[in-house]
Amino acid sequence: MDPRELTIDQVRLLLDRGEASAVEICQAHLDCIAQRNPETRALLHQDAAAALEQAAQIDRLRKAGQPLPPLAGVPLVIKDNISIRGQRCTCGSKILENYQALYDATVIARLRAAGSLFVGKANMDEFAMGSSTENSAFFPTRNPHALDYVPGGSSGGSAAAVAAGMAVGALGSDTGGSIRQPASFCGVVGVKPTYGRVSRYGLVAFGSSLDQIGPLARTVKDAARLLGAIAGRDTHDATSATLAVPDYVAAIENPVKGLKVGLPRQYFKAGIAPEVTARIQAGLKLLEQLGCELVEVDLPHTEYAIACYYVVAMAEASSNLSRFDGVRYGLRVHGEGTLTGMYRETRDAGFGNEVKRRIILGTFVLSSGYYDAYYLKAQKVRTLIKQDFEKALAKADVIASPTSPTPPFRLGEKSSDPLAMYLSDIFTITANLAGIPGISLPCGRTSSGLPIGLQLLGKHFDECTLLRLGHAFEIAGGFALN
């Protein structure tokens, strides 16, 4: 049994035929973690005993002749900003280095009920602030396809773990591309659902109006299964939608001929690496061969997206991270013995440079005299960007673009240039500003073997169209494992 080749359907087939037990499947992935994690450093920590006990429960059900839940025995890795009761939840930060979650996030409770096994917590950029997983307070993660390269971020540990065979799937969070960009860099599928489709209860907040939990997997079908398991209304999250959750797995088998694929003229300009352009153009030709019609669309406010996003995201980060003050949980540094000193020393010691930068900028744009000039104006631009997508998606069923303007870059290549790092998300942040769903699909490789991703964006709560077009694309292009 090679864990690098298993899908959710294959795990279920092994169990149903009695060819492997859930404990054996779990142990195979734990063995892969022991082999690959020292070089990739995709995981921050794990509770192998808890995962094996989850697996043993599945085996007891099977031996008793009880029906198995839909994700029975499926090993998953969870980004370390999502709470699993009794396990550490560090968010890649020193300030939460020893914090243990007191409850399960809603997505974890749903996956637990579906029979999933949690084999590890994934490394990430600190508080999900980054595009390379180099901002982790503990260590950077390396791309399993080329260890000198980054896996993307901030869900780089999740993407790398799936690509390396440490888990069948993973959960990440996406605030500005943090599922889709690492999926692209690691050659896996990553889905950012519509804002409100998946509960955020138990996700440590970065930007509350932007954050969304979503799956990473080796195939679109696996991503569809995981999304179906975690989606739906949650009374713990007032922003979760009351809409019914479709059968995503059934939807992927529907035909794609006749779908209109929008190509934003603003997304296909200079600045895209030549090998990315070549692979994306080949991908678009494949979509035409599948019977899709390519149409040009206009997203005129794209040039303001980076500035708009970072004003909104940093403002929300400044507000959300104020809770880490040394009083309620996490690190406490007593400092000079005063309350103010304790606040200052705790936050100085606990937060890394990128987090400090974003807190400072976010506090500035929310401050008296600057709120209207920056934050309020950014919210107005955000509305214009949302309206751009509504108009474009009235002409097209989906919008296609590169997931990232470049292939994976070398470790350290952009770490001293924050603006260059921010521009890695130029094609992904707009979906978060507009609240629409997106998916990154493997779309070939560079001449040196580095993965490249194609992004599809869709209408609000229309993940079905993205998944079925993505499924057809990966099968036709030979990108699927099975």
Q: What is the mean pLDDT of residues 54-83?
A: 97
Q: Which class is 3-259+436-477 in CATH?
A: alpha beta
Residue 458 has pLDDT above 50, yes or no: yes
Residue 336 has pLDDT above 90, yes or no: no
Q: Report d(CA 223, CA 110) in Å as an integer.
A: 15
Mean pLDDT for all residues in the chain: 96
pLDDT tens, position by position, 22-55: 999 999 999 999 999 999 999 999 999 999 999 9
For 63-125, give the secondary structure using H, E and C.
HCCCCCCCCCCCEEEEECCECCCCCECCCCCHHHCCCECCCCCHHHHHHHHCCCEEEEEECCC
Verify cis geometry, omega within 30 degrees of 0, for the bond prior to 401. Answer: no
Percent of the chain with pLDDT over 70: 100
pLDDT tens, position by position, 278-290: 999 999 999 999 9
Strand 213-217 with 293-297, pairing: unpaired
Q: Report d(CA 423, CA 282) in Å as an integer.
A: 24
Q: What is the DSSP letter of 165?
A: T
Q: Report d(CA 266, CA 251) in Å as an integer.
A: 31
In the residue annotation, 416 being an active-site residue is answered as no
Q: Report d(CA 460, CA 202) in Å as an integer.
A: 23
Q: Report d(CA 200, CA 236) in Å as an integer.
A: 9
In the residue annotation, 121 being an active-site residue is answered as no
Residue 405 has pLDDT above 80, yes or no: yes
Per-residue confidence band for 12, with pLDDT thresholds at 50, 70 and 90:
very high
Confidence at residue 142, expressed as pLDDT on a 0 to 100 scale: 98
Confidence at residue 398, expressed as pLDDT on a 0 to 100 scale: 98
CA-closest candidate to residue 46, choices 26, 74, 24, 72: 26
Reported in sequence order, the residue ranges of 265-331 that DSSP labels E, i.e. its strands, are 293-297
* Helices within 124-237 (DSSP H only): 156-163, 180-186, 220-230
Neighbours of 98 (CB within 10 A): 11
In the residue annotation, 322 being an active-site residue is answered as no
Q: What DSSP string describes 21-73?
A: -HHHHHHHHHHHHHHHHHHH--EEE--HHHHHHHHHHHHHHHHTTPPPPTTTT
Q: Which region among 187-196, 325-334, 446-455 has the lowest average model confidence (pLDDT)?
A: 325-334
Per-residue confidence band for 3, with pLDDT thresholds at 50, 70 and 90:
confident
Q: Tell me, what amino acid is at 14? A: L
Catalytic choice (79, 121, 221, 459): 79
Identify whether the C-beta of residue 40 lies closer than 8 Å to the C-beta of residue 182: no
Per-residue confidence band for 481, with pLDDT thresholds at 50, 70 and 90:
low
pLDDT tens, position by position, 151-177: 999 999 999 999 999 999 999 999 999
Percent of the chain with pLDDT over 90: 92
Residues β-bridged to residue 454: 402, 441
- 135-154 per-residue burial string, b: 16 or more CB within 10 A, e: under 16: bbbbebbbbbbbeebbbbbb
Per-residue confidence band for 482, with pLDDT thresholds at 50, 70 and 90:
very low
pLDDT tens, position by position, 257-271: 999 999 999 999 878
Catalytic choice (21, 131, 173, 178): 178
Please state the pTM of the whole predicted model.
0.97
Catalytic choice (116, 132, 154, 318): 154
pLDDT tens, position by position, 431-451: 999 999 999 999 999 999 999
Confidence at residue 476, expressed as pLDDT on a 0 to 100 scale: 96
Q: Which residue would you say has higher pLDDT here, 4 or 143?
A: 143
pLDDT tens, position by position, 218-228: 999 999 999 99
Identify whether the C-beta of residue 237 lies closer than 8 Å to the C-beta of residue 105: no
